[in-house]
């Protein structure tokens, strides 16, 4: 990869106040990717962290040329960070992964194996979730509402551990504005999707940004987004963008 050749696999990881998780994540992830045996790149997107995440990422980039780093000026949200990483990803397959290690990076080979069966998107379905009861209940409701509104039955829209083919990512990136809920776009633009069960661990450091209230707000956002994807949705999309007017994100630093 140091010669500028194109990777087969891009791993995009949004980061927000995860300085204590990043060293372990990097070690486990690189070991997993080395075992896959394909050229890869890792894109960390620092979503306005207020801890030492940026310093940790700079150090990782300094010792590993396969690591790329994008840092926002402030917190724009997880899906804006994913969008920024996807825009710069060069791989034919893009994998997304949280930085908190609740979804183990060791599951990535299983995502790729399922993708080899010909589907466009493979999503993880978290089994034996290690989250508080309130968050699990809100997540269950969001998944049910999303499945009905989108018309695609998926049991875990909220799992960040996913693998996308380049063609689907390109279609999502062409959608105007910042997607509030990337799995909804994936469901709209993919010709086929598959879910596989994946492990889920308790968060060791910090706390989740997605409590019950934020998850319910996300359910509203995704409902508006689905309307914008439909033939009558252009007016809805423009109105929604007026309400949420602002830049997609502003980048303070790029290391690649």
Which pair of tokens denotes residue 91? 């791989």
Domains in the chain: ranges and CATH: 9-130+154-207+249-255 (3.90.550.10)
Q: Is the pLDDT of residue 144 over 70?
A: no
- What pLDDT sits at residue 184? 74
Confidence of residue 209 (pLDDT cuts 50, 70, 90): low
Q: Is the pLDDT of residue 241 over 70?
A: no
- For the segment 38-96, what is each residue's pLDDT rounded down to a tens digit? 999 999 999 999 999 999 999 999 999 999 999 999 999 888 899 999 999 999 999 99
- What pLDDT sits at residue 235? 47
- For the segment 112-125, what is each residue's pLDDT rounded down to a tens digit? 999 999 999 998 88
Around Cβ 208, how many Cβ atoms within 10 Å? 14
Around Cβ 63, how many Cβ atoms within 10 Å? 8
Confidence of residue 5 (pLDDT cuts 50, 70, 90): confident
Asked if residue 76 lies in contact with residue 47, where contact means CB atoms within 8 angstroms, the answer is yes
Q: Is the pLDDT of residue 236 over 50?
A: no
Give the residue from 127, 130, 139 showing the smallest Cα distance to 198.
127
């Amino acid at each position: 990869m140091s010669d500028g050749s194109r990777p087969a696999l891009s791993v995009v990881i949004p980061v927000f106040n995860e300085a204590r998780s990043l060293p372990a994540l990097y070690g486990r992830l690189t070991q997993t990717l080395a075992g896959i045996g394909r050229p890869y790149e890792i894109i960390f997107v620092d979503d306005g962290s207020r801890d030492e995440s940026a310093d940790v990422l700079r150090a990782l980039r300094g010792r590993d040329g396969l690591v790329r780093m994008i840092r926002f000026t402030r917190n724009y949200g997880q899906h804006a960070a994913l969008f920024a990483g996807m825009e710069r990803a060069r791989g034919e397959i893009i994998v997304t992964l949280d930085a908190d290690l609740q979804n183990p990076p060791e599951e990535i080979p299983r995502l790729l194996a399922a993708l080899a069966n010909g589907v466009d998107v493979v999503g993880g379905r978290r089994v034996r979730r290690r989250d508080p009861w309130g968050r699990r209940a809100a997540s269950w409701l969001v998944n049910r509402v999303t499945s009905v509104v989108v018309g695609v039955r998926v049991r875990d829209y909220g799992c960040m551990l996913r693998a996308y083919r380049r063609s689907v990512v390109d279609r999502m990136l062409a959608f105007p504005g910042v997607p509030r809920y990337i799995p909804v776009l994936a469901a709209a633009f993919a010709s086929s999707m598959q879910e596989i069960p994946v492990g889920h661990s308790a968060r060791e450091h910090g706390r989740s940004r997605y409590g019950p209230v934020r998850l319910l707000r996300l359910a509203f956002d995704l409902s508006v987004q689905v309307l914008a994807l439909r033939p009558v949705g252009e007016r809805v999309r423009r109105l929604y963008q007026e309400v949420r007017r602002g830049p997609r994100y502003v980048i303070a630093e790029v290391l690649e």
